[in-house]
Amino acid sequence: MITFDAVSKRYPDGTVAVNELTMEIPSGSTTVLVGPSGCGKTTSLRMINRMIDPSAGRILIDGTDVTAVPASRLRRGIGYVIQNAGLFPHRTVLDNVATVPVLTGTPRAAARREAAALLERVGLDPALGRRYPAQLSGGQQQRVGVARALAADPPILLMDEPFSAVDPVVRTELQDELLRLQADLGKTIVFVTHDIDEAIKLGDRLAILAVGGRLAQFAAPSQVLAAPADDFVAGFVGRDRGYRALSFTAGDGIAVRPEPTIRIGDVPTGADWLLVTDDDGHPRGWVDAAAHPGGTPVAEADLRLGGTLLGPGGSVRTALDAALSSPSGRGVAVDADGRVTGSIRAADVFAVAERTARDEPGEPPVPAPAVLSKDRPA
Amino acid sequence: MNWAWIDSQWPTIWQEFGQHVWLSVLPVLIGLLLSIPIGALAHRYGWLRPPLVTLAGLTYTIPSLALFVVLPGLLGTKILDPINVVVALTLYTVALLVRTVADALDTVPDDVRQAALAMGYRPVRQLLAVDLPVAAPVIGAGVRVATVSNVSLVAIAALIGVPQLGSLFTQGFQEDFATPIIVGIVGCLVLALVLDLLIVLAIRLLTPWQRAGRIGRRGRSAAAAELAEVVGPAEVIG
Ligand SMILES: Nc1ncnc2c1ncn2[C@@H]1O[C@H](COP(=O)(O)OP(=O)(O)OP(=O)(O)O)[C@@H](O)[C@H]1O
Ligand SMILES: [Mg+2]
């Protein structure tokens, strides 16, 4: 547990970056510091590993004041990832990852072996280990940054806008990878971002900071969306918060209706959209029987690719998206193996959403598997 | 051009060449070793920088001949002692390199510095293991300038009688004889070129990552060119 006890930071020029911040960051989960630019997120984060010293107050890790050990020793036990990865340009990827173990006395050969294993763990080909950072893409560099922070297996990981300099597709990949890693590792992660969507996706807890370093709300994402503490929080989480909150409601209660399917090569009949699957029952796409030339079999080229899928553990938000993104207006529900189980209609999704909003205004249930990939079809 | 004179004087010329080599190289090595901590201090403590850089600039404006003459009195050495030359040229090297080292350390990206700090490097180890290696290409460029500058400054020491290639200039001047002067100029040029080449090679060996970056970029653009052949240039935007 990381404890902020009335921590303030006033810079020499008089700027108050953090003002009397008191909060308890629980161990083994992800806490996201989120807020507008200049509200003191980076300052707060850097006071944990003493890259910045507070002007007043104390920070404790598991009850021990961070000033109790020399700063360099403290830092070697805390992983740190920054926006542009900050890799050492003169060291190979492998040696970058091996940095902290080598600093703490692990023989170089052993540190490199472990580094190679870590590369794989963060989704990189270990062959990249011989390259220099300049020979990697931005997303790859960021993965190396994460591997480097994890190398000494620190219990705490500090991440300062680690994914904000990469394009949206890569950002999503990196976020999913972090969720996967965290499900395995259970580190105490303190993650800084100014992107509320990223905060909701990654955080078990959100610490919403207002300009001037005031803690506006400290709560689970679902709670922040359902019951913002004040106007600042309500404004910050934005107009879509009702829709975003659907991410936290399990889609289990939505009626899955039988959906007839056909295969490639079958002749479509009737005047409605038909769902086409492969021989194993995996969805391939939709075909519009009304527009299909009569009597001819369905070919690959006739398929309108479907929208997103609703898998087990998917949220109401995923279900709604599945329904709205399907050309037939019927969202495809699949089982854990990706086989079609039926279809869902937007009206049914709305019914569930409405019921939840009425029944449990403050505390919508958080479905356990959905934490892993809240916004993606399983 | 009197080839017979060159032939007869060859052992002396060769000896003077050797003398010239160590008189110009040794001060660069000592000067570099001194400049690194001084430059690092100037880089780290902003208030130290203006006085140090000004002092370095002033040192460089002291005429070398004056320094050669004054140093024996200060150091208690004999006027002909080559130590005077080494000390004087070390001063000039430091004067050139302090600023280079401080500027070179400025080029280390802030990300890299912050990352090193956050990983738990202590200041000296960070300087040696991260900052200096990253700054090496810029420092190397300064060392090239200092070395070539030393090769020409050493020659002036002939006026106070320390033998090296510069002695050929005084000899040619006194005897109104062109050959030694030409030999001296060619010798200095060759020496400067060879030393410069050695430094360039050393920098390349010390900074393989610099070329790797370039190879990487070339590799990517080659891949893009291949892609362009397959799909046609319009599709290749990046
Ligand atoms: N070294 C410094 N000296 C003076 N003021 C500073 C210093 N570092 C930060 N500040 C100020 O402190 C406040 C908080 O800065 P901080 O970097 O913690 O914000 P942030 O929430 O991380 O912002 P961003 O989202 O833009 O990164 C800002 O007003 C900033 O200008
Ligand atoms: Mg910041």
Q: Show residues of chain A in contact with B109, CB under 8 Å.
A: 86, 89
pTM: 0.80
Cross-chain Cβ contact A73/B120 below 8 Å:
yes
Choose from A268-282, A292-306, B62-76, B96-110 the range with maximum mean pLDDT: B96-110
Q: Which of A69, A100, A135, A142 to mutate to test the interface with B (most CBs of B within 10 A)?
A: A135
pLDDT (tens digit per residue) in B188-227? 999 999 999 999 999 999 999 988 754 444 444 444 433 3
Contact A305, A280 (CB under 8 A): no
State both tokens at B63.
Answer: 């005429």
Q: Whose CA is nearest to atom 17 of ligand 1?
A: A42
Residues of A (8-67) whose Cβ lies below 8 Å from B: 49, 51
Ligand 1 binding pocket includes A13 (Cβ within 6 Å)? yes
Pairwise CA distance, residues B223 & B110, whole Å: 31
The structural domains of chain B, with segments of one domain joined by +, span 11-164+193-231
| Coil, strand or helix at B54 | helix
State both tokens at A209.
Answer: 């900071």
The structural domains of chain A, with segments of one domain joined by +, span 2-248, 261-373
Ligand 1 binding pocket includes A308 (Cβ within 6 Å)? no
Enumerate the H helices of chain B as residue ranges. 3-44, 49-61, 64-75, 82-106, 110-119, 123-126, 132-156, 166-175, 178-206, 208-231
Cross-chain Cβ contact A82/B130 below 8 Å:
no
| Cβ neighbourhood burial of A229 (10 Å; 0-12, 13-18, 19+) | middle
> Within a 10 A sphere around the Cβ of A3, how many other Cβ atoms?
18
Cross-chain Cβ contact A76/B120 below 8 Å:
yes
Ligand 1 binding pocket includes A34 (Cβ within 6 Å)? no
Tell me if ipTM is over 0.90: no
CATH topology of domain A2-248: Rossmann fold (3.40.50)
pLDDT (tens digit per residue) in A263-281? 988 888 888 899 999 888 8
CATH of domain A261-373: 3.10.580.10
Pairwise CA distance, residues A213 & A41, whole Å: 8
pLDDT over 70 at A285, yes or no? yes
Class of domain B11-164+193-231: mainly alpha
Question: What's the rounded mean pLDDT across residues A108-114?
Answer: 95
Tell me, yes or no, if B207 comes closer than 8 A to chain A by beta carbon: yes
Positive or negative, the CA dihedral B176, B178, B184, B188 is positive
Contact A51, A212 (CB under 8 A): no
What is the overall mean pLDDT for chain B?
Answer: 87
Contacts of B176 (CB under 8 A, 6+ apart): none
State both tokens at A61.
Answer: 């890790």
**Contact pairs from chain A to chain B, CB under 8 Å:** 77
